[in-house]
Structure 1
Amino acid sequence: FWDSWESGKEFAQRMTMWDAMFMAFSPRDRDEGLAGVVIQLVLRYLTNLTLGLGAAFVYFIVTVYGLIQSYGPSLLSSVMFFFLVLISALGVLAAYMVGIWGVAG
């Protein structure tokens, strides 16, 4: 889970770096003050983080499904484990998203 989590955060950092580079070369953003640029970068980072962690969540769930299939448990056991992992991972993701967007908002 944490490897997927870190890959999502790294995705957000890379995309924010590209956004910052394009903002620096964009002629329409030169009229804004430093505070406006910083606020834009923070909001773009939060958006990129949401996208990156969402994609990492999907990757993690697919990986868990593959792990369950390779283990070969009974149908009831595999379904219960899958939903337990799904709800747990979704809870962590939702708490993190509510926390960062709550602080930003």
Structure 2
Amino acid sequence: MQKIHDYEMELANYLYEKLCSVPNIRIYGPKPSENIHRAALCSFNVENIHPTDLATFLDQQHGVAIRSGHHCAQPLHRHLGVNASARASLYFYNTKEDVDEFIRSLSDTVSFK
């Protein structure tokens, strides 16, 4: 289980760093680190693109699945002043290549707007 956790944290850090390279993105939550216990995921929004539209375009144009909506955290979204967010989630069966493909797909989708 520790090896799975360590690998997920490695992927989470990789995802976070790659998401930071996408223009006009706002990531919610702290950067993954060894001090913070969190799942291997990132919630985010892209300026001027509704998360549901983003998720739909990623799915239809690239076959990439992400979540969009409140993620059962409506009070947090209200506090953040956003009506929804997008979320990319990873697990031990994902790879850095999967993250790279997601970032390529996300960048293509964002630049299409």
Q: Normalised by the size of structure 1, how large is the TM-score? A: 0.29
Of structures 1 and 2, the one with the larger relative CO (CA 8 A, separation 6+) is 1
Higher strand residue share: 2
Structure showing greater Rg? 1
Q: Normalised by the size of structure 2, how large is the TM-score? A: 0.28
Higher helix residue share: 1
